[in-house]
Amino acid sequence: MSIPASNPSSQHFRGVMLMLVSALCFTANALLIRALGAVQAVDVWLLASVRFVVGLALIMAIYRVGKDAFQPRNLYRNRRLISRGVIGSLGVYGYYLSVVHLGAGRATFINNTYVVLGALLAVVMLHERFRLLLAAGGLLALAGLALITNVFAAGAQVSPYDLLAIAVAFGSAYIVVTIRQLHAEGEHTSTIFAAQCVYGLLLSLVPALLSWAPHPPLAWGLMLIAALSAAIGQITMTRAFRDLPVGEGSLMQILVPLGIAVGGVVFFSEQFAAYEMVGAAMILVGTVLPAVRR
C-alpha cells in the first residue's frame, strides 16, 4: 500500500515542516500542563476531556463537512477509524498510568520505542522500506532520549507497568501505521483526527464528571490553551503522515521530549547535565539523518 505523490520532493518537505510544527505544539502542550500543575492540580480525565472537546471544536471551525472533507458518518462505519480511536484513547490512559508508576522519564523512553516498532510494522503492513539511515537515526535518537530521561538510573526495577508501557508503545506503532492506511484509503485528516476525539471523549467524559472539582479562571485558561496546542499538534501530525513514511515521521516526534527538557531549563530554571547535552545532540543528529535524504 502506498500513497501516490505528484511531486515527491515538495511532498516530503511539506511533511517534514508539518511534523516539526506538530512536535512544537506537543512540546507547548506539555509545558503548559506543567505550568497548570503549579496553579492547581487537575484530574487527568478532565484534561483529556477538554483536549478532545477542543479538538472537535477545532475540526468544526476549520473543516467543512462533506465528500473529500470531514465525514462524521465514517466514524462509526469504518472499522479502521474505530480501532484508531479506541486504541488511541486507551493508549493515552495507559501512558498516563505508566508515568504515575514508572516516572515520566522511564515511561517516555519506553513509549518512544514505537518509532522503531512502527517502522518495522510499516515494512510488513505497508511495504515501506526500512532504510539503514533510518535505523541508525532511530537508534541514535533513542540512545539520546535514554540519556535525557535518565532511564537507566540506579535503583530502577522492572514492574508490571513496564509491560503496560510496552503495550502502549505497540499501540502507538499500530496507530501511526493505521493513519497511513486511512490516508491511502482516502480518509480526510479531519476525520482521522476526529476518531481520536470522539472515542477518547467516550472514554474520559464520565470519569471526568464523577471527579469534577471547581477550578479558577487561570487554570481553565491554561487547560484550553494546552488543549488547543495538542489539537493543532495532532492535526498537523496526522496530515504529515500522508506525506512521510511511518519511520521517518515518527522519529521526528522524539524532538518533543527534547523540547520539554529545553523548556524546563528556559521556563522552570532546571539545569542540563553534561550527559543530557550529549543526549540532546544525539537526538538532533538522529532525527536529521533520515530527513536529509535528497
pLDDT at residue 227 greater than cutoff 90: yes
Instruction: Assign 197 to helix, strand or coil.
Output: helix
CB–CB of 55/227 below 8 Å?
Answer: yes
CB–CB of 7/207 below 8 Å?
Answer: no
> For the segment 61-94, what is each residue's pLDDT rounded down to a tens digit?
999 998 888 999 999 999 999 999 999 989 888 8
Identify residue 188 by its one-letter amino acid code.
H
Identify residue 190 by its one-letter amino acid code.
S
More confident call, 273 vs 169: 169
pTM over 0.85: yes
Specify the pLDDT at position 2: 46
Which of 97, 27, 53, 78 minimizes the C-alpha distance to 252?
A: 27
Buried b (16+ CB within 10 A) or exposed e, 171-199: bbbbbbbbbbbbbeeebbbbbbbbbbbbb
Specify the pLDDT at position 86: 94
